[in-house]
Amino acid sequence: MTDQGMPACLVITGCRRRYAGSSPNWRKRRPPAASLPTVAVVPHRLSTIFCGIIPVGMVAVLLLGSGAAAESVQPIGLGDPGALLSISIESGRDGDGPLLLIGNESRQQVIVTGDYASGQKRDLSRSVTYGVEPAGVVAVDPSGLVTPQGNGTATIRASVSGNDGEPHDATVQLSVESFDRNPAINFPNQVVPIFTKLQCNSGGCHAKSGGQNGFRLSLLGFEPQEDFEHLSREARGRRLNLAAPDLSLLLRKAAGVVPHGGGARMEVGSPNYRLVRRWIAEGASYGDPEARRVSDIEVLPRVRMMGPESQQQLVVIARYTDGSTEDVTATAQYEANVKELAEVTDRGLVTTTDQTGDVAVMVRYQSHVGVFRATIPLGAPIETMPPEHNVVDEKVFKKLRLLGLPPSEPCDDATFLRRVTIDIAGRLPTGEETAAFLADQDAAKRDRQIDQLLASGDYADNFAKKWAAIFRNKRVTAAGDDGRHGTYAFHAWIRQSLHENRPYDEFVRGVLAASGDAKESPGVIWYRAVCDANAQAEDAAQLFLGTRMQCAQCHHHPFEKWSQRDYYSLTSFFSQVDRKPASLPAEERIFHRRGVASAVNPRDNQTVLPAGLGSEPMEIPAEEDPRQRLVDWMSTPDNPYFARTLANRYWKHFFSRGLVEPEDDMRQTNPATNPELLDTLAEHFIDSGFDMKDLIRKICRSQTYQLSSLPNEYNADDLQNFSRYYPKRLPAEVLLDAVDAVAGSETRFPGVPAGTRAVQLPDSGFRSHFLTVFGRPEGDSACECERTGEANLAQGLHLLNSADMMSKLSADGGLAAQLAADSEREIRGKVRDLYLAALSRLPTDDEAVTVAEFVTHKSQQGEADTKRAFEDVLWALINTKEFLFNH
Amino acid sequence: MSFPQVFCAAACLVRSFAVPTADRLRRAVLAVGLLIVLASPLGAQLPMPRLHQIFPPGGQLGTSVDVTIRGLDLDADPETAQELVFSHPGITAERKVTSPPSSETEPQPLPGQFVVTIDGDVPVGTHEARVRGRYGLSTPRPFSVGNLPEVLEQGSNNSLESPMPLELNSVVNGRTSGDSYDVYRFTASAGQRVLLQCEALRLDSRMDATMTLRNAAGEQLAYSRSARRSEPMIDFTAPADGSYLVQVYDSTYRGGEPFFYRLAVSTQPHLDFVFPPAGTPGTTGTFTLYGRNLPAATPAEGVAVDGVALQKTEVEIPIPAEPQGSGVPLSGRFLGPSDMRARGFEYRMKTPAGSSNPLFISFATAAVIPEQEPNDDRNRTQPITVPCEVVGQFFASRDRDWFSFQAKRGERFAVEVFSQRRGLPTDPFLLVQHVSTDEQGEPTKPPTRG
């Protein structure tokens, strides 16, 4: 997807990211899915170079990653299927009487499925023997592809002998008509899909705006009329040669007979070639414009449990408006959403890899999409599951049982406290908090801690940071206005809304339906960043409906049902938004300009009225602000997008990976890895009256959230089923605050009072090298992917070797100085405090001894060296993966 | 912010358009006029006295308070006569003098310093101060009169660890400094309903006042920032005996001399609004007061401001005869130029705990008709007879009220909505439509779009 009309499509790849586990337990056969962050490996390599203070062995002790590396295991998969009980043969077209093939060009894929004693179903399409009686009507190749050979009726028999030697067979009857006389070709129904299949009309090729080398096709064939015009009328008609079809430029280019920038897309004499050739030979007519149209497509099977490295043939059936059906398996396009899990050929054959998880294969034909979902279980034995805490665990563990993917152990208290404090409150737990929590014997202390964190202002700070970025709360200056008023006000409003737990629908209303100036209605700042109705509709869809509508501005959405009409229906909610100057130069007043909301669809110049996605158009009186109606529509309990989007977004906040990934690209063709769980969370969220804190409570209380990040021998590769906690690097602001908290230093930001932490900053207008390097978002887009959790060399160098870090560690009032000056306490106690502060846990005996020895040894060299010794220890702790990651 | 009450009077106003202008406005206009003259090259370069600041910007009834003034061309030369005058005769000022070094020498006046004495009968609210000097009368500055004891901010209260202690039921006059905030600590007992109010906007301070209330542990309990034409206010009921912290700051942490404020921490009665918001002059009417800490009040069901439930109480209020001349009293609220056309009087509730804040009640010019729901639909209007004053509320947000009246060809009407200019955070929208009827008198073609 490189069409210029869909810039957002490009972003998708940018925000897919994975978090590597912190364990060394990687499979030997394949490199890990993501490389370890640079900072994670640097300390012990550079320690001797940089300061030469810390013995290599000591740092090794400080590094995270205890436990022996487990040997990788061969996946067991579905396990023993048992005896084959029966087989069945399907064409997907059983609904409309006997299977009928018309003409000699039609094709039909059949699939043969075996039912086993264990309840398993397996694809046998390529392992059965096909026979046809009587001969001469059709031929069946070993993959189950049926081609006509003559008029008549025949029976296809698939036979196989089971693993116990028992023979099984299944039959399907079909007839062939008009073998000698193919029906006239319909351009939009038959020729255009070939362009799509061969990617002639992809965004990177002839469907670019302006076309490719003078020849232009509509993107994915959404506008067949235009394509027909371009083929038949342009270039002085040389593209089609009715008298000598083989000399048509279209065929000669496509087949590579003459040089073609896109290469040979089809072979001379192939079925596609023959069809296009016949279309030209028949006069290259458009066909009946009122002819049947595809009304939807069906993919068979829809879901299947598949073993690793196994295959499944798909059948794609197009249903037409006149009720007829047709096999389009060969013309449909296929794409797996997780390539690491499965590959799919252009004939619809899915082959799984040796990984475990869920994969969806998107099937696209014309403007319709379908999905085949495969679950590839690991099949490992699960003896015990951790106790379930709530419905989240019920759904997650159900999935894990299905997959045979044993979850990691529940994490210990210290890990939980650090994890939940970072995730909810955006800070490290203090040493005292940790000590108190570890000493607490109350069985419900984890739940209580979650409640306390949610009630604290730190929760509001942390989540205001999240929302302010995607609400694009970015400072805009003007003459006489430093721009702070607007962004500070908006941030304060977001923070206060979260703090007082304003229901999500009201929160959204405060932004989407904001009127007035930033003083009375700070949500209008969103309208300053998001300028026109198109951008407003796109951002609103992405933020609150989890849908990327950008594509549909210029053409039909390639992976969804949204057309340009849907796009402009959405923008028309914003058509009456108007602005006038406010009291500050960089601000504006937003108001509803009286009038009936509507927009014009540039495709057909038709006026469209506001309509929620997939809903009926609304007639809104002139004096009523249509944006209120948009939020009304969003917040109805049966809205399929609103609650699910937030549930998914928040899930991702805590688990690093959304149930749908990316979190703001939810569509039929990008299904959730655990749809039941997403439904349950959304339902719960709606039932709670859009209570955001309650949703977080639900997520954090689950056992799933409290699982250890250390993988067991099976789940190191799991990146989508939540069988363990996926470690993630601390967000930039949290990391800076954490460094300050541990080193006892302070980062001063001009424009806010002393003591303001990075996570509390109202906007991105505070210059900080640290924050930039660690991926703080600038507030330029509605995508959370603007915040990066990735590692780069600059980060490693900054933490290891920068004046900034040096001054923090060696600050006069810093922790190292305090510890060095404190002559009262035992060295062991100081080490304990250091570990509690930095890693939120007690040191192991080994660590305590090593650090104590190191400090004692250094201290003997002189008074100043005691402080330097503590600085070194702090420096080493900050550079551990255990510190840098939330794990 | 949801503000349920709105005075929306659709009235046929038959009255003189010679609207008396408030003192303050008239002089402001005069000053602007003067400025224009001065700006022209022909104008003589006469100094124009401008009073920029009076600090503290207010004082308690029946007390004297030392104030310092700052401004331009005030001519603070000790030799010349300088006076500080107030819009209410009950407030007077004397120049502050040095104590004489010896009995022979005269005490010398201190430049820019005055002792202001406020009589006990001065009404609570905002008054105006001006300086009269060699070049005439200066521009005005607001001066607030309250009935609580007052203190000055002591400084060094810029962190939660070092708050300045404050008595409950007192006022502190302070200034913020840049990139900082001021912290005060007060003690309240469980169940006490404490109102924290910060005046800045109506004192012509540059501060965009913001307050955060915290418990002794520093956890946030409430937050309030000034909205358009309203000052921050926190109404909180103390959950337990103990001390509480209030942080006061400019919304973008600006600070300096012009960023002054008055913070009141009180349990005094506070009036939010009154319904009906208008009465006929010379009569006594029954009014429902909505507010907080009101004596003998009942909870006002379903009426809440910023999530805090209000109380209500019914009172008989005698409405004075409409005065000649200036009809706009200087009140406790921020007045914009457009507010000057609203004529009425100020009502203050007298309680043992002291007088409440003033509330503005309009003089009705015609029969007062209360709005009657349901009238949310253009097909379900409330018929009214003109001339009249309709009093209503936008109650439940997105409320629309439809009224219908008969009119004859050629008749002239003035229809005015008074809501925003009563200081309410509303943006009323007025639409007048003609209902045409067929022979049977039935409305034809009910308009579906406006």
Which of A482, A557, A542, A592 lies closest to A222 in space, CA to CA? A557
Q: Which long-range contacts (CB under 8 A, 24 or more apart) does B25-31 make?
A: B25/B337, B25/B340, B27/B137, B27/B139, B27/B140, B28/B139, B28/B140, B31/B139
Query: Quick one: pLDDT at residue A838?
Result: 93
Instruction: State the pLDDT confidence band at B195, using cuts at 50, 70 and 90.
Output: very high
Instruction: State the pLDDT confidence band at A6, using cuts at 50, 70 and 90.
Output: very low
Which of A294, A432, A440 lies closest to A367 in space, CA to CA? A294
CA distance A594 to chain B (A): 9
Q: Does A594 touch chain B (CB under 8 A)?
A: yes
DSSP-derived 3-state class of residue B406: coil
Query: Quick one: pLDDT at residue A677?
Result: 96
Instruction: State the pLDDT confidence band at A344, using cuts at 50, 70 and 90.
Output: very high
Query: Quick one: pLDDT at residue B228?
Result: 66
In the structure encoding, which two tokens stand for residue A586, read together?
């960089």
pLDDT surpasses 50 at B176: yes
Mean pLDDT to the nearest integer, A273-285: 91
Instruction: State the pLDDT confidence band at B328, using cuts at 50, 70 and 90.
Output: low
Q: Does B239 touch chain A (CB under 8 A)?
A: no
CA distance A636 to chain B (A): 18
Q: Does A750 touch chain B (CB under 8 A)?
A: yes
Mean pLDDT to the nearest integer, A720-744: 94
**pTM of this prediction?**
0.86
Which tens digit of pLDDT belongs to each residue from A52-111?
Answer: 333 333 333 333 333 333 444 455 778 888 889 999 998 888 765 678 899 888 889 999
CB contact (8 A) between residue B1 and residue A520: yes
pLDDT surpasses 80 at B19: no
Which tens digit of pLDDT belongs to each residue from A535-588?
Answer: 999 999 999 999 999 988 888 888 888 889 999 999 999 999 999 999 899 999
Which tens digit of pLDDT belongs to each residue from A194-237?
Answer: 999 898 988 888 988 888 888 989 888 888 888 998 998 888 88
Phi-psi label, residue A775: left if phi above 0, alpha if psi -120 to 50, beta otherwise: left
CB contact (8 A) between residue B449 and residue A622: yes
When comparing pLDDT for A326 and B230, which is higher? Answer: A326
Which tens digit of pLDDT belongs to each residue from A347-402?
Answer: 999 999 988 888 999 999 988 889 999 999 988 888 889 999 999 999 999 999 98
Residues 6+ apart with CB under 8 A from A221: A188, A192, A193, A195, A196, A201, A227, A366
Q: Which residues of B touch A515 (CB under 8 A)?
A: 427
Which tens digit of pLDDT belongs to each residue from B368-387?
Answer: 999 988 888 888 899 999 89
Q: Which residues of A271-293 are buried (b: 16+ CB within 10 A; e: fewer)?
A: bbbebbbbbbbeebebbeeeebe
Mark which residues 428-447 of B lie under 8 Å from A by CB: 429, 431
In this complex, the residue of B159, B179, B225 whose CB is nearest that of residue A752 is: B179
Q: Whole-number mean pLDDT of chain B?
A: 83
Exposed / middle / buried, residue B276 (Cβ in 10 Å: 0-12, 13-18, 19+): buried
When comparing pLDDT for A750 and B97, which is higher? Answer: A750
CB contact (8 A) between residue B1 and residue A754: no
Q: Whole-number mean pLDDT of chain A?
A: 87
Q: Does B396 touch chain A (CB under 8 A)?
A: no
Lowest mean per-residue pLDDT among A74-83, A301-310, B7-16, B393-402:
B7-16
Instruction: State the pLDDT confidence band at B424, using cuts at 50, 70 and 90.
Output: confident
When comparing pLDDT for A52 and B313, which is higher? Answer: B313
Query: Quick one: pLDDT at residue B44?
Result: 58
The greatest distance separating any two alpha carbons of chain A, rounded to the nearest whole angstrom, comes to 103
According to DSSP H, which parts of A341-470 are helical? 391-403, 413-420, 431-439, 445-455, 457-470
In this complex, the residue of A455, A492, A753 whose CB is nearest that of residue B225 is: A492
Mean pLDDT to the nearest integer, A815-838: 89
Q: Which residues of A touch B450 (CB under 8 A)?
A: 594, 621-623
Cβ neighbours, 10 Å, residue A829: 12
Q: Does A596 touch chain B (CB under 8 A)?
A: yes
Q: Which residues of B touch A628 (CB under 8 A)?
A: 398
Q: Which residues of B touch A520 (CB under 8 A)?
A: 1, 227-228, 425
Query: Quick one: pLDDT at residue B7?
Result: 36
Query: Quick one: pLDDT at residue B110?
Result: 82
Q: Check: CB of residue A551 under 8 Å from CB of residue A570.
A: no
In this complex, the residue of B219, B253, B450 whose CB is nearest that of residue A456 is: B219
Query: Quick one: pLDDT at residue A524?
Result: 95
Instruction: State the pLDDT confidence band at A13, using cuts at 50, 70 and 90.
Output: very low
Query: Quick one: pLDDT at residue B107?
Result: 78
In this complex, the residue of A484, A519, A628 whose CB is nearest that of residue B228 is: A519
Q: Which residues of B touch A591 (CB under 8 A)?
A: 427
CA distance A887 to chain B (A): 28
Which tens digit of pLDDT belongs to each residue from B66-75?
Answer: 999 988 888 7
Q: In what order do the strands lie in the sheet with A315-320?
A: A294-300, A315-320, A325-327
Which tens digit of pLDDT belongs to each residue from A595-636?
Answer: 999 999 988 899 999 999 989 999 998 888 999 999 999 999
CA distance A282 to chain B (A): 54
In this complex, the residue of A485, A519, A622 whose CB is nearest that of residue B450 is: A622
Q: Which residues of B touch A746 (CB under 8 A)?
A: none
The ipTM (two decimal places) reads 0.85
Query: Quick one: pLDDT at residue A48?
Result: 30
Instruction: State the pLDDT confidence band at B360, using cuts at 50, 70 and 90.
Output: confident
pLDDT surpasses 90 at B343: no
Q: Does B427 touch chain A (CB under 8 A)?
A: yes
Which tens digit of pLDDT belongs to each residue from A102-135?
Answer: 988 888 999 999 999 888 899 999 999 999 988 8
pLDDT surpasses 90 at B248: yes
pLDDT surpasses 90 at B32: no
In this complex, the residue of A455, A621, A628 whose CB is nearest that of residue B449 is: A621
Query: Quick one: pLDDT at residue B325?
Result: 63
Query: Quick one: pLDDT at residue A43?
Result: 34
Q: Which residues of B touch A456 (CB under 8 A)?
A: 219
DSSP state of A731: P
Which tens digit of pLDDT belongs to each residue from A412-434?
Answer: 999 999 999 999 999 999 999 99
Instruction: State the pLDDT confidence band at B76, using cuts at 50, 70 and 90.
Output: low
CB contact (8 A) between residue B228 and residue A520: yes
CA distance B177 to chain A (A): 10
